[in-house]
């Protein structure tokens, strides 16, 4: 394998792992939000950081798939990004379901004397 392929494969794996680690770590390190707008900003920053790292990983993964003779790390990068966004969607759906259930329970409790 030429050195360029090694660099592409290593960079793809590094950015795929960084996508899983960096945004959540930064989010939890800045967990002391005193105002609601700060919390909203943290969530927006989480999505922006994740999107940026995902795009870099996708570019590197596609480059690895195109230019490398051993495309395994390219597939790893694509799978890591796909699973990460799938997990985010699942968490958002669970959060929405929980919020709706709480709203229904609050409405029932307000109707009863």
With tokens 């090694």, the residue in question is 6
Do the beta carbons of residue 12 and residue 64 sit within 8 Å? yes
pLDDT digits (tens, 9 = 90+) for 30-89: 777 677 787 788 888 889 999 999 999 999 999 999 988 778 889 999 999 999 999 999
What is the arithmetic mean of pLDDT over 1-18? Answer: 82
Q: In terms of Cα–Cα distance, which of 42, 55, 46 is closest to 16?
A: 55
Quick one: tokens of 93?
Answer: 């759906």
Q: What is the DSSP letter of 69?
A: S
What gap in Å lies between CA 31 and CA 75, rounded to an integer?
34
Q: Which tokens belong to 87?
A: 């997990």
């Amino acid at each position: 394998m030429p050195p360029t392929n090694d660099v592409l494969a290593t960079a793809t794996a590094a950015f795929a792992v960084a996508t899983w680690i960096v945004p959540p770590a930064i989010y939890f390190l800045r967990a002391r939000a005193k105002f609601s707008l700060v919390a909203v900003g943290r969530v927006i920053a989480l999505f922006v950081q994740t999107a940026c790292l995902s795009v870099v990983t996708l570019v590197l993964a596609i480059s690895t798939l195109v230019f490398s003779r051993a495309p395994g790390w390219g597939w790893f990068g694509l799978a890591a990004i796909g699973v990460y966004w799938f997990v985010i969607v699942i968490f958002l759906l669970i959060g929405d379901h929980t919020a709706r259930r709480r709203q229904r329970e609050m409405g029932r409790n307000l109707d009863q004397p």
